[in-house]
Amino acid sequence: MQFKDIVGQEDIINRLTSIIDSGRVSHAQMLLGEAATSLPLAWAYLQYLCCEHRVHHNEGSLRADSCGECPSCKKISSLMHPDLHFVFPTATTSRVKEKPWSGEFQAEFRDFMLQTSGRGNIDDWYDSLGIENKQGLIREMDADGAIQDLSLKAYEGGWRMLIIWMAEKMNESFANKLLKTLEEPMPGTVMILVAESDERLLPTIKSRVQTLRVESAEQKVENNAEFAVMLVGWLRMLFKLKMKDLSAQVDKMSSLNREQLKQFLQYAQSVMRGCFLNTTAGIDVHLGSGDEKFDTQFPKMITVNNIELIEQALDDAVFAIERNAYAKIALMELSFRMSKALKKR
Ligand SMILES: [Zn+2]
């Protein structure tokens, strides 16, 4: 599995490859979001981690990818790598009539991954096992098996890797054993939890894993539609600068949580860049907020005279939000800088 085969996830992919390139690989990473997107990401992440000839791109939207050709890439993409292990929910079947656990279904799970390219969901998996209406679980035996796998010497001399798929299906005894290994991580091991929801995970587990949120393509489109309305609402305020209205708009924006606010500012940045690049190339841009006049007029106001000031102001605001600055103050300051820059067209 290469990153290039996963569509619409460039932001998170670029974060994942830079984590690996900078040597800050977390021994426990959680990918939180639709499993059909997160499992391929986890798969490609481990392939990149082990790749002998990582490829870095100078153009295009991906900064890097695995080569797909080296022996390690081939073993991981075919799921034949001896140091790559899986834990997933299971239940009794016509073949395994008691004490089901992942160890009994390794071949079935690998087939399922290869056939669906990792994009199957939990119901597809239960269907392929034929467990009908039973609920799958990840149990204590899964923990014992995983700990044993991870404590063996790596066959290939590199990383020992474990993917825990649908981690929210772990029961309490699995969680307690997992917690012990998170408290005393084994050197040279990487564990990736793929989960669609973290509501049922113990807070002590959540606090010990590095979490990245994965948004599906549909969620991104939804967010962007909301962001477009908010962005235009805010931009309109920047021309007249009526303090009361601006302050109310900024309150609305500060009600986003920190991660969403950062995404909103990055969205604003990409819109501004798009306005500048397209209008200078003579292409009409439409902001898509539903306010026809503003949507078509505003893009023409981003010119060579103010694009750098605008990008810098947005960059500084993202930086401030990342540093836990008080959101409202950061957004007010950003509003004044943007307002000034827009006058320079
Ligand atoms: Zn490779």
Q: Which residues pair with 160 in a beta bridge?
A: 189
From ligand 1's centre to the CA of 67, what distance in Å? 4
From ligand 1's centre to the CA of 210, what distance in Å? 25
Q: Express as a percent the part of the chain with pLDDT over 90.
A: 67
From ligand 1's centre to the CA of 154, what distance in Å? 18
pLDDT at residue 115 above 90? yes
DSSP 223-287: HHHHHHHHHHHHHHHHHH--HHHHHHHHHHHHTS-HHHHHHHHHHHHHHHHHHHHHHHTT-----
pLDDT at residue 217 above 80? no
pLDDT at residue 61 above 90? no
From ligand 1's centre to the CA of 71, what distance in Å? 7
17-21, 111-115, 219-223, 277-281: lowest mean pLDDT where?
219-223
From ligand 1's centre to the CA of 74, what distance in Å? 7
19-33, 218-232, 298-312: lowest mean pLDDT where?
218-232
From ligand 1's centre to the CA of 88, what distance in Å? 26
Residue from 83, 146, 79, 160 nearest 118 by CA: 79
Q: Express as a percent the part of the chain with pLDDT over 70.
A: 100
Q: So what's the pLDDT on residue 224?
A: 80
27-31, 58-62, 66-70, 323-327: lowest mean pLDDT where?
58-62
Q: At what angle do helices 217-240 and 258-280 cross, to 10 degrees?
A: 70
- Name all domains of the chain by residue range, CATH numbers in brackets: 3-215 (3.40.50.300), 218-343 (no CATH)
Tell me the torsion sign for CA atoms 127, 132, 138, 141: negative
- The stretch 137-157 carries a mean pLDDT of 90
Between 292 and 39, residue with greater pLDDT: 39
The CA distance from 53 to 58, in Å, is 16
From ligand 1's centre to the CA of 42, what distance in Å? 16
From ligand 1's centre to the CA of 51, what distance in Å? 4
From ligand 1's centre to the CA of 188, what distance in Å? 19
Residues 313-338: pLDDT tens digits?
A: 999 998 898 888 899 999 999 999 99
Query: Do residues 159 and 49 make contact, with C-beta atoms less than 8 angstroms apart?
Result: yes
Q: At what angle do helices 217-240 and 327-343 cross, to 10 degrees?
A: 60
Mean pLDDT score of the chain = 91
Q: So what's the pLDDT on residue 221?
A: 73
What is the band of 73 on the pLDDT scale with cuts at 50, 70, 90? very high
Q: So what's the pLDDT on residue 262?
A: 86
Reduced to 3 states (helix: H, G, I; strand: E, B; else coil), residue 157 is coil
Q: So what's the pLDDT on residue 101?
A: 96
